[in-house]
Amino acid sequence: QTCSPARDPRGGYVAWGHSTLVGPFGQVLATTEHEETTIIAEIDYSQIDLRRTNLPLGKQKRGDLYQLVDIQRLKSQST
């Protein structure tokens, strides 16, 4: 889901509008124009599970190439 900020053509920054509802496979389910609009949709959580099964990112980590570092802990140890 992407939400656009309020659109004010007289402001210094003019938002594009077009808030969008996107499914777990990247398909656009609904989109809006420039005016204020509410999108209501049901979420099929089985689609999220299906995506996670088909794209198992957690199993593709290469810990031999990098490591996570806790910066806060390192800072507290050095003082």
Give the span between the Cα atoms of 11 and 5, in whole angstroms. 12
Whole-structure pTM value: 0.49
Q: Which range of residues forms the domain containing residue 40?
A: 20-78
Query: What is the tens place of the pLDDT at every residue in 13-70?
Result: 877 778 888 887 788 888 888 788 888 888 788 888 888 888 877 777 777 777 677 8
Question: What φ, ψ does residue 28 adopt, rounded to 5°?
Answer: -80, 115
In a domain, 6, yes or no: no
In a domain, 12, yes or no: no
Give the span between the Cα atoms of 24 and 60, in whole angstroms. 19
Instruction: Measure the CA angle with vertex 24, ends 35 and 67; round to 5°.
Output: 115
In a domain, 10, yes or no: no
Q: What per-residue confidence (pLDDT) applies to 1?
A: 56
Give the span between the Cα atoms of 24 and 10, in whole angstroms. 36
In a domain, 28, yes or no: yes
Q: How many domains does one find in the chain?
A: 1
